[in-house]
Structure 1
């Protein structure tokens, strides 16, 4: 296999987000609107959530759960204080997109935070920049062209600052319906495979893909999560894992997509059984969502106690699975010996 040239800044910063074995075991705490809605639901009073509550929750998660993790994905809107509370040596990923998507136009169009740039994210301590993109590979060509150009611009901006670009595509199809339902579960494997293939292309400048698993575990026959309606057999599900993985020519990690921690663990076990070459996880709600009612009802001290017990156990259980089956991020390139780390020429504009 031919050597791959990776700029030094990107290489070292991906390493900063990974453990000593090159596996990324990151905690996702960049939820904004969804966290606020979950807190409102836990209160059961309809009372609004104060920004201070979001900041306190995020700070507690960063303070406790980064000790067993290798990195944290945190937003600047409510997470600035949390960054300083993370465990020493923990990598920092910062999101660059607005929370949610444009509901006034067709296609779930993305948008960037208007008061930030990649340079400003770097100045805030980012080791990597993350973009979430809703993507339907079978959507109208003009919609996907806009989204592809959007990713190209972010990729170029990250390349100019020599910082890794983590892309999180989320599959959807408004003509099919809810992404968690049976109908979408049937087509999900091809949607995930298609976007992994597309955004592995060099033109986008993506360094790590943060992807969904290509199946929905509750529709996998023979699993503990099985709901009784089968979209795939266990063998078919494993083949979907392998097919999607083979489409990627960039390192990829799995996101938890808000499922319960025991479901996500079983999902990763199936990925390992399939021999999937994933390089870690960026896991959010699966590890800490049960702490939301604890915080809402009993405050931050109770939350920290819960995180130090159950939250840490959740992370450690995931880490055990990663040790069994996750591959170093450089595996897709044939091994670290096939990476040539180069010093790019960085042009610094006048200030």
Structure 2
């Protein structure tokens, strides 16, 4: 079995050797700063703002103030970065937290939180008082944007999104800073993202998003993508909820297909699912020999601690993160041994090779 796996790895690496993307010195260095010693990204995300406020209110925090968000981000950063390769923060409420990252890499988000429900298509916006240059000046090793995207959306709406991604890509090129684009699908038909109807479409949505934003015109360096299936709709798994969209064998095929649609490195987001569901999805990715190069996950690690903060305060939350949050992150890290180094897909710049 070990010989078979070794042969598979050799075939995979040989195939990618011919497809490697050429990187500039700055972009290669920036991605290296958010990675571990194996060139795998094992990062924690805590750039939530609007959704975090809603969680606090739902969990009993009567009057949510900005300081609450600042404290949550600072505690998560301080306690979890010793066990991570990097942290993703936002410049609105995360600037204090970035000082507590223990020398680990830093992603800063560039987009406004959420989207306007009164405007069709979940159109993204950037933060008005920030630029890619200002994010770098604040300490960012990499710039990240979140984009809600579906190939089934109206072309006029998707064109707006394409232009938006292009503009930020040009900013990042000019600064020689890595550009991470996070795509999250949504249901245009109105069934809802938790429905079995959407689950059947999800692989095509994830795949099409990866194909689109791998085009050189966007200047994307690493894709942050969804798991290509909905775990609760995979029969034969622990997470199965009783309404099947695919068998386990079909789910494994979706992971394999995802690996082949892009030459860029890609990493997984957790999408706020429970830790048990996220780790099982990584188990499937590993079984399928997915080409993913790590994770940038947030709520799966710390979301269960938000009721603790809301009802008992920062000290109790720090204690929860120090025990349960660290344990959850360790479970994710243990599965990243099968992740592929992003250096398999990005070529080291010639100047660094000589050095």
Same fold (TM over 0.5): yes
Taking the aligned partners of 2:173 and 2:320, their CA distance within structure 1 comes to 40
User: What are the within-5 Å matches in structure 2 for residues 104-115 of structure 1?
Assistant: 104-115=118-129
Two-structure CA RMSD over aligned residues (Å): 1.3
Whether the 8 Å contact between 2:19 and 2:263 is mirrored in structure 1 is no
Q: Which runs of structure 1 show a deviation greater than 6 angstroms over 4 or more consecutive aligned residues? A: none
Whether the 8 Å contact between 1:193 and 1:245 is mirrored in structure 2 is no
User: What are the within-5 Å matches in structure 2 for residues 319-330 of structure 1?
Assistant: 319-323=333-337, 325-330=338-343
The equivalent of 2:216 in structure 1 is 202
TM-score (norm 2): 0.92
Structure 1 residues 298, 8: CA separation in 2 closer, same or farther (over 3 Å shift)? same
1:78 aligns with 2:93: yes
1:194-222 Cα offsets, whole Å, 9 max, x none, are: 11111111110000100001100001001
1:235 aligns with 2:249: yes
Taking the aligned partners of 1:82 and 1:74, their CA distance within structure 2 comes to 8
The equivalent of 1:348 in structure 2 is none
Taking the aligned partners of 2:315 and 2:20, their CA distance within structure 1 comes to 50
Specify every segment of 5 or more residues in structure 1 that has no aligned partner in the other structure, as ranges: 344-351
Taking the aligned partners of 2:94 and 2:83, their CA distance within structure 1 comes to 19
1:252-289 Cα offsets, whole Å, 9 max, x none, are: 00000000011100010000001100000001000001
Structure 1 residues 269, 2: CA separation in 2 closer, same or farther (over 3 Å shift)? closer
Q: CA shift at 1:3, angstroms? A: 6.0
Structure 1 residues 3, 165: CA separation in 2 closer, same or farther (over 3 Å shift)? closer
Whether the 8 Å contact between 2:142 and 2:179 is mirrored in structure 1 is yes
Taking the aligned partners of 1:149 and 1:76, their CA distance within structure 2 comes to 23
The equivalent of 2:3 in structure 1 is none
Taking the aligned partners of 1:154 and 1:173, their CA distance within structure 2 comes to 25
Aligned partner of residue 92 in structure 1, secondary structure: strand
The equivalent of 1:65 in structure 2 is 80
For residue 126 of structure 1, the aligned residue among 123, 140, 153 is 140
The equivalent of 1:292 in structure 2 is 306
Specify every segment of 5 or more residues in structure 2 that has no aligned partner in the other structure, as ranges: 1-17
Structure 1 residues 290, 79: CA separation in 2 closer, same or farther (over 3 Å shift)? same
Q: CA shift at 1:176, angstroms? A: 3.7
1:20 aligns with 2:37: yes
The equivalent of 1:251 in structure 2 is 265
Aligned partner of residue 223 in structure 2, secondary structure: strand
Structure 1 residues 186, 267: CA separation in 2 closer, same or farther (over 3 Å shift)? same
Q: CA shift at 1:300, angstroms? A: 1.2
Q: CA shift at 1:53, angstroms? A: 0.9
Structure 1 residues 293, 5: CA separation in 2 closer, same or farther (over 3 Å shift)? same
The equivalent of 1:261 in structure 2 is 275
Aligned partner of residue 56 in structure 1, secondary structure: helix
1:94 aligns with 2:103: no
Aligned residues: 335
